[in-house]
């Protein structure tokens, strides 16, 4: 099972393996305070893609397509998390305010397709 959760939400036992998937450390969160098992920057969108999306230079559909293309070269790391999700819950942690259109949604779908 692969799920997503904002880093600002309280951890729960059903989260399982918690992975921060942002390239930047989330604002206002102390490193020792965030309960996560791994920080996987390699699976985060590139800085340029992230900035283009937040500046509304591209829409979510274009962002998703470009981000999926960026995930292909790091598919081995993605596959590791997808495989792990077969035996325990994996929770992708993200800092975005938008809970509907964010990179964690795209990454979760990508991982589910690999699992």
Cβ 53 vs Cβ 29: under 8 Å: no
Give me the domain span that covers residue 13: 2-114
* pLDDT band per the 50, 70, 90 thresholds, residue 41: very high
- Say how many domains are in the chain: 1
Q: Output Rg (C-alpha) for the chain, integer angstroms.
A: 13
Q: What is the pLDDT of residues 68-81, one digit of tens each?
A: 999 999 999 999 99
Q: Please tell me the pTM assigned to this model.
A: 0.94
What 3-state class would DSSP assign to 113? helix
Q: What is the pLDDT of residues 3-34, one digit of tens each?
A: 999 999 999 999 999 999 999 999 999 998 89
Which residue spans within 1-115 are E strands per DSSP? 2-6, 17-20, 38-39, 90-94
Please report, in angstroms and rounded to a whole number, the separation of the first and last CA atoms in the chain.
9
Whether pLDDT at 115 is above 90: no
Name which of 77, 88, 89 is nearest 114 in CA terms.
77
């Amino acid at each position: 099972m692969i799920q997503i959760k904002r880093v600002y939400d309280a951890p729960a036992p059903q989260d399982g393996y918690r992975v921060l998937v942002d390239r930047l450390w989330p604002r206002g969160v102390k490193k020792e305070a965030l309960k996560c098992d791994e920080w996987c920057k390699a699976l985060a969108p590139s800085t340029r893609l992230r900035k283009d999306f937040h500046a509304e230079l591209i829409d979510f559909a274009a962002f998703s397509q470009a981000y999926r293309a960026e995930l292909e070269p790091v598919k081995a790391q993605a596959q590791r998390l997808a495989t792990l999700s077969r035996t325990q819950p994996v929770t992708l942690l993200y800092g975005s305010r938008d809970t509907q259109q964010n990179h964690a949604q795209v990454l979760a779908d990508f991982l589910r397709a690999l699992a």
